[in-house]
Amino acid sequence: MNNKLNSEEVWNKCLLFIKNRIQETAFQTWFDGVRISSMGEEDITLLVPNKFHYEWLESKYRALIDEAINTVVSKSLIINYTVPITSKSSQEIPSFSVHKKNYPQFQPRYNKTKNFNSQYSFRTFIEGKDNQFAKAACGSVADSPGGTPFNPLLIYSATGLGKTHLLQAIGNRLIKTFPNYQITYLTSERFMLEFISSIQKNKSTDFANQYRSSDILLIDDVQFFEGKEQTQEQFFHLFNVLFERGKQIVLTVDKHPNQLLGIKERLVSRFQSGLMVDIQPPDLETRIAILMNEAEQNNLNLSYKITEFIAASIKNDIRKMKGVLVRLLAISSLKQIDINMKLVKGVLQEMIGENEFHNLSIKEISKHITLKMNISDRLVRGKSRTKEIALARQIIMYVSRELTSLPLSKIGALLGKRDHSTVVHACKLIEKKINTDDVFKNQIDDYLNTLSK
């Protein structure tokens, strides 16, 4: 028992050491769920959630973990990892395998009464620094609808960053916590269509009364009201009635209300009268965590290299990023093939466009190498011919040739509008230096290994 307590104390001190040296988001994503399993004189065994976690810790944080352990116990220990045995029964565990014909089902699980997708919950919403405030505000509203200053609550962001997920998460929690409440959830487009239908059937009063009986009103994609004056007028009166009654209103929109065109100023003013929260595109580590969670939900075994590559390739649309996984899973199961990097690159090119895919790759390569060499990325793309800048530019050209399928003329064009012959010359110089300088060769190998996806 004492050994166990001692080992837990050791690991808690290690976690504190690590926490003080990395970003809070990174710590929450990769270390919050790591526990100590056992510790001996020569080794320590850490309990991690899954194989993805183990591979990522080994790849990105092994040196930091070693340093933490050495600092706390004054010696190095062999680090082992173990994954807990799931508590689910065999019937609850998905049996999908890409080598068997038991293909996964993608039917959404809806609550038929309230039309909420049960997969959209606060638990499945991956939190990062770019969405923490929005998630916290939504959680407060879900716990106390109409009882917080956050009324109305307006969530705004570009498409595909999680607005609908949070809106439905509110609904799913409300159903459990307040089963007797009248919860109304729909898109603004659906609201307009039902309003038009009520006019055609001479049931405008019934339409108004139906929505005014709501305890909570959740409206998705309010930007669809742009230019629909009669619908806006109807919604304006509904909003006022519910607000005066202390009923909770939550709205989502794809831009800041001030940027909405064709919506009456008094309605925009209502949107801004409560709390507005935005969701920014998540950072790389949060995107990786989202992909890991999605892959685990679909029983999809992806290497951390593939996961990181997808996350690095799609920065601003989580929905599209998840769509890549669905596409990979479908191709893998239907064609009975493994998910490898070639397949991933093909799917990415198909979904985000070949030019955007390759341009992104060149940018990532340039950003990584200039950061490592402590050189301005802007200068590399400029006209400077200083020895240090020229070498960095040549290395980027060589690595780009090795890691992308772009023609050399395209690589040159993306690096300051240089021509094909310049890239050929640069690659020959780098190859010659690799063959004569072992230190330089190791440096290039490090770039290739790190950036190789």
In a domain, 88, yes or no: no
Residue type for position 151: N
Do 291 and 268 sit in the same domain of this protein?
Answer: no
How would you list the strands of the sheet with 35-39, edge to edge?
35-39, 43-47, 78-82
Query: Are the CB atoms for 205 and 213 separated by under 8 Å?
Result: no
Do 273 and 290 sit in the same domain of this protein?
Answer: no
The reported pTM is 0.58
Do 320 and 397 sit in the same domain of this protein?
Answer: yes
Tell me the CA distances in angstroms from 425 to 359, 375, 398, one per residue in order: 22, 21, 10
CA–CA separation, 249 and 288 (whole Å): 32
Do 71 and 139 sit in the same domain of this protein?
Answer: no
Q: What is the dihedral of CA 189, 195, 198, 199, to 10 degrees?
A: -120
pLDDT tens series, the chain, 453 aa: 344 458 888 999 999 999 888 877 678 778 877 889 889 888 899 988 776 677 778 877 888 999 999 999 988 888 888 876 544 333 332 332 333 333 333 333 333 345 788 888 998 898 888 888 999 999 999 999 998 889 999 999 988 889 999 999 999 999 999 988 999 999 999 899 989 988 888 888 888 888 999 999 999 999 999 989 999 999 999 999 999 999 999 999 999 998 888 899 999 999 999 899 999 888 878 888 888 888 887 777 788 888 888 887 787 788 888 888 888 888 877 777 888 888 888 888 887 776 666 666 788 888 889 988 988 888 888 888 899 999 999 999 998 888 876 778 888 888 888 888 899 999 999 999 999 998 999 899 888 877 765
CA–CA separation, 162 and 282 (whole Å): 10
In a domain, 233, yes or no: yes
| Contacts of residue 64, Cβ cutoff 8 Å, sequence gap at least 6 | 18, 21, 22
Do 197 and 288 sit in the same domain of this protein?
Answer: no
Tally of structural domains, the chain: 3
Which residues on adjacent β-strands are paired with residue 81?
Answer: 46
Q: Compute the radius of gyration of the chain from its Cα atoms.
A: 27
Do 309 and 396 sit in the same domain of this protein?
Answer: yes
In a domain, 106, yes or no: no
In a domain, 267, yes or no: yes
CA–CA separation, 114 and 175 (whole Å): 8
CA–CA separation, 56 and 355 (whole Å): 29
In a domain, 203, yes or no: yes
Tell me the CA distances in angstroms from 150 to 136, 142, 271, one per residue in order: 11, 11, 11
- In this structure, the chain runs to a length of 453
Do 339 and 234 sit in the same domain of this protein?
Answer: no
Which residues on adjacent β-strands are paired with residue 44?
Answer: 39, 79
Do 377 and 431 sit in the same domain of this protein?
Answer: yes
Do 355 and 422 sit in the same domain of this protein?
Answer: yes
In a domain, 446, yes or no: yes
Do 350 and 242 sit in the same domain of this protein?
Answer: no
Which has the closest alpha carbon to 440: 448, 60, 424, 405? 448
Q: Domain containing 332 — which CATH number?
A: 1.10.1750.10
In a domain, 95, yes or no: no
Which residues on adjacent β-strands are paired with residue 72?
Answer: none
In a domain, 257, yes or no: yes
CA–CA separation, 231 and 360 (whole Å): 42
Do 271 and 299 sit in the same domain of this protein?
Answer: no
Which residues on adjacent β-strands are paired with residue 246?
Answer: none
Percent helix, strand and coil across the chain, each to the nearest 5: 55, 10, 35
Q: Which of 228, 258, 278 is the last residue of a domain?
A: 278
Q: Return the DSSP state at 271.
A: H
Q: Which of 229, 257, 278 is the last residue of a domain?
A: 278
Domain range for 176 is 120-278
| Contacts of residue 446, Cβ cutoff 8 Å, sequence gap at least 6 | none
Do 423 and 297 sit in the same domain of this protein?
Answer: yes
Q: Which of 222, 247, 278 is the last residue of a domain?
A: 278
Q: Domain containing 248 — which CATH number?
A: 3.40.50.300
Q: Domain containing 76 — which CATH number?
A: 3.30.300.180
CA–CA separation, 130 and 287 (whole Å): 11
